[in-house]
Structure 1
Amino acid sequence: MEEISNVKRVLDEKFKIKDIGRLKYFLRLEFAHNSKGLVICQRKYTLDLLEEFGMLGAKPASTPMQYSVVLSKNLGTKLSDSLRYRKLVGRLLYLTNTRPDISYAVGYLSQCLNCPTDQHFQAGLHVLRYLKGNSSSGLFFAKDNNLKLTGFVDSDWTICPDIRRSVTDYYYFLGGTLVCWHSRK
Structure 2
Amino acid sequence: MTITGDDTEKIKRLNGSLFHEFEMKDLGNLKYFLGIKMLRSEGGIFLRQKKYVLDILVETGLIDCKPVDTSILVNHGLQISDEAELADQGKYQCLVGKLIYLSHTRLDIAYAVGTVSQFMHRPQKDHYVAALRIVRYLKGTAEHGIMFKKNEHRGIYGFTDADWASNLVDRKSIARYFTFVEGNLVTWRSKKQKVVAISSVEV
Q: When the two structures are superposed, what TM-score results if normalisation uses the length of structure 2?
A: 0.83
- Runs (5+) with no aligned partner, structure 1: none
Which residue type is aligned with residue 37 of structure 1?
A: G
Q: Give distance in 2, aligned partners of 1:130 and 1:180.
A: 22
Distance 1:169 1:75, change over 3 A: farther
Partner of 1:82: 89
Shift of 1:149: 2.7
Q: Give distance in 1, aligned partners of 2:40 and 2:154.
A: 18
Shift of 1:38: 0.6
Which residue type is aligned with residue 25 of structure 1?
A: Y
Q: Give distance in 2, aligned partners of 1:64 and 1:76.
A: 26
Equivalent runs, 1:3-152 vs 2, <5 Å: 3-13=10-20, 16-74=23-81, 77-144=84-151, 146=153, 148-152=155-159
Which residue type is aligned with residue 5 of structure 1?
A: K
Q: Say which structure, 1 or 2, has more relative contact order (CA 8 Å, 6+ apart).
A: 1
Q: Give distance in 1, aligned partners of 2:158 and 2:170.
A: 27
1:124-182 residue CA offsets vs partner (Å, 9 max, x unmatched)? 11101110001011111113364633211111111111111111112122344433222
Q: Give distance in 2, aligned partners of 1:158 and 1:141.
A: 35
3-state SS in 2 of match to 1:171: strand
Distance 1:80 1:47, change over 3 A: closer
Shift of 1:17: 4.0
What is the percent sequence identity of the aligned residues? 37
Q: Give distance in 1, aligned partners of 2:18 and 2:122.
A: 47
- Runs (5+) with no aligned partner, structure 2: 1-7, 194-203
Which residue type is aligned with residue 27 of structure 2?
A: I
Q: How many residues align?
A: 185
CA RMSD in angstroms comes to: 1.9
3-state SS in 2 of match to 1:72: coil
In the alignment, structure 1 residue 174 sits paired with structure 2 residue 174: no
Q: When the two structures are superposed, what TM-score results if normalisation uses the length of structure 1?
A: 0.91
